[in-house]
């Protein structure tokens, strides 16, 4: 019965101080995907966890000093979750990256006067046929052979 009182003191002090530190009681919707720190989670849960660790390590010895230790754990975890938790464990990047849309329309490519890849007949020099050979390479080879 003694252990339950210690856990209630730690969780209660963390919850009350978390609310006094202007943390919301519950995270924002949807709760499963919310990374909002609240008074219930992770503040109270951390207080219960740290109390269990201290208890299992043997520092709680069923004396009146244990009530003060539980109160201190609740206070420390409330301040920890409010001011330090996001610095140690930052929020994950869950936003989907969308490419930025520019407001300027694309400019059409200019003619062969400015050095495009078209020859005099208007065909694209870098056009490849089905065999994967560049069309301009074929004409160069034909001219050199004959």
User: What are the pLDDT digits (tens) for 10-52?
Assistant: 999 999 999 999 999 988 777 666 678 889 889 999 999 999 9
Domain hosting 50: range is 2-88
Task: Answer yes or no: is 140 within a domain.
Answer: no
**Ranges under pLDDT 70 in the chain:** 1, 31-34, 94-146
Which DSSP string do the residues of the chain spell out, in sequence order?
-HHHHHHHHHHHHHHHHHHHTT--SSPPSSGGG----BTTTBHHHHHHHHHHHHHHTT---SSTHHHHHHHHHHHHHHHIIIIIHHHHSPPP--SPP-PPPPSSPPPPPP-GGG--SB-TTS-BTT-B-TTS-BHHHHHHHHHHH-
Task: Answer yes or no: is 123 within a domain.
Answer: no
Task: Answer yes or no: is 32 within a domain.
Answer: yes
- Residue 28: the pLDDT is 76
- Residue 1: the pLDDT is 64
Task: Answer yes or no: is 48 within a domain.
Answer: yes
Task: Answer yes or no: is 39 within a domain.
Answer: yes
The number of domains in the chain is 1
């Amino acid at each position: 019965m003694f252990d339950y009182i210690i856990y209630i003191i730690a969780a209660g002090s963390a919850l009350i101080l978390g609310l006094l530190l202007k943390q919301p009681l519950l995270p924002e919707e949807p709760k499963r995907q919310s990374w909002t720190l609240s008074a219930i989670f992770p503040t109270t849960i951390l207080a219960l966890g740290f109390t269990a660790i201290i208890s299992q390590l043997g520092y709680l010895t069923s004396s009146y000093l244990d009530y003060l230790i539980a109160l201190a754990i609740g206070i420390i975890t409330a301040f920890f979750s409010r001011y330090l938790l996001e610095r140690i464990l930052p929020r994950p990047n869950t936003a989907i990256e969308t490419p930025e849309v520019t407001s300027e329309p694309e400019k059409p490519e200019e003619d062969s006067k400015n050095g495009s890849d078209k020859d005099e007949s208007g065909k694209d020099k870098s056009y490849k046929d089905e065999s994967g050979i560049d069309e301009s390479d074929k004409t160069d080879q034909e001219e050199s052979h004959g």
